[in-house]
């Protein structure tokens, strides 16, 4: 671990925490909206249809935030307090916070059908996540963050075919993100979001027993 990593990680944690809080607030607004609709105490809430697209997009952003956090942790040996590094962190995490603010409408009652809001914001949210993931991976390669596994890791990986399969499936997330960005089919978008979520969960589960990755 780079000796200055703790300082820059504090900045990273603060900004990523704001993005996670924004996502949780969005889910909270949906739950409150449904509660008011079921109770019949809010005429505007009764006319709002939430659907599946926006909540699934919120789950996708949350899962991707977790993956992004783990990627930054693997870069702990090369992150320091250089000005360019700080600006890079601000751009990437600031981009994630901006993406998070676009997932849920601030005033749900103005959107009778959340699906309409989804189609308005999907390209910005999914396209933003894709670009941030690509930029983060490129930064890791440029900084030399990738390291070869030690003997314990190599043995654990070789004995875990599920991890090897999940790693290959993770790489399919890149074309899935591109497809999701431009797709205009509801069922296709749901299937792609579920696929990306499933691959990230599978990777997290399969990496649990591998030293340094769990």
pLDDT tens by residue, 30-69: 888 888 888 888 787 778 888 999 999 999 999 988 887 7
Helix runs in 40-82, H state only: 43-46, 53-74
The DSSP bridge partners found for residue 49 are 113
**Comparing 103 with 212, which gets the higher pLDDT?**
103
Same domain, 47 and 131: yes
* Boundary-marking domain end, from 114, 147, 180: 147
Same domain, 37 and 68: yes
State how far the Cα of 68 lies from the Cα of 80, in Å rounded to an integer: 18
The DSSP bridge partners found for residue 181 are none
Q: For residues 58 and 23, is the Cβ–Cβ distance under 8 A?
A: yes
Number of domains in the chain: 2
State how far the Cα of 10 lies from the Cα of 2, in Å rounded to an integer: 14
pLDDT, one tens digit per residue, over 100-126 is 999 999 888 788 899 999 999 999 999
State how far the Cα of 83 lies from the Cα of 75, in Å rounded to an integer: 17
Same domain, 38 and 24: yes
* Boundary-marking domain end, from 121, 147, 173: 147
Same domain, 139 and 207: no
**127 has pLDDT over 80:** yes
Q: For residues 136 and 57, is the Cβ–Cβ distance under 8 A?
A: no
- Model's pTM, two decimal places? 0.84
| pLDDT at position 81 | 64
Residue 188 structural domain: 148-214
Same domain, 126 and 153: no
Q: For residues 40 and 177, is the Cβ–Cβ distance under 8 A?
A: no
Same domain, 124 and 195: no
Same domain, 14 and 106: yes
Q: For residues 114 and 50, is the Cβ–Cβ distance under 8 A?
A: yes
Same domain, 9 and 66: yes
| pLDDT at position 191 | 97
* Boundary-marking domain end, from 107, 132, 147: 147
pLDDT, one tens digit per residue, over 135-188 is 887 877 776 655 555 565 666 666 677 878 888 888 899 999 999 999 999 999
Q: Which two structure tokens, joined as six digits, stand for 13?
A: 């944690």
């Amino acid at each position: 671990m780079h000796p200055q990593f703790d300082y820059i990680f504090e900045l990273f944690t603060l900004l990523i925490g704001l993005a996670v809080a924004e996502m949780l607030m969005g889910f909270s607004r949906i739950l409150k909206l449904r509660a008011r609709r079921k109770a019949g105490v809010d005429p505007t809430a009764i006319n709002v249809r939430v659907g599946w697209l926006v909540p699934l997009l919120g789950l996708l952003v949350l899962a991707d935030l977790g993956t992004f956090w783990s990627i930054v942790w693997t870069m702990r040996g090369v992150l320091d307090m250089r000005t360019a590094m700080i600006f890079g962190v601000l751009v990437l995490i600031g981009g994630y916070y901006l993406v998070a603010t676009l997932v849920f409408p601030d005033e749900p009652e103005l959107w009778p059908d959340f699906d309409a809001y989804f189609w308005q914001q999907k390209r910005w949210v999914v396209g933003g996540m894709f670009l941030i993931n690509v930029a983060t991976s490129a930064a890791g390669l440029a900084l030399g963050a990738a390291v070869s596994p030690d003997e314990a890791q190599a043995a654990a990986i070789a004995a875990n075919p599920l991890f090897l399969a999940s790693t290959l499936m993770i790489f399919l997330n890149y074309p899935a993100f591109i497809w999701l960005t431009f797709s205009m089919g509801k069922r296709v978008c749901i299937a792609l979001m579920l696929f990306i979520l499933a691959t990230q969960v599978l990777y997290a589960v399969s990496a649990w027993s591998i030293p340094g990755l769990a």
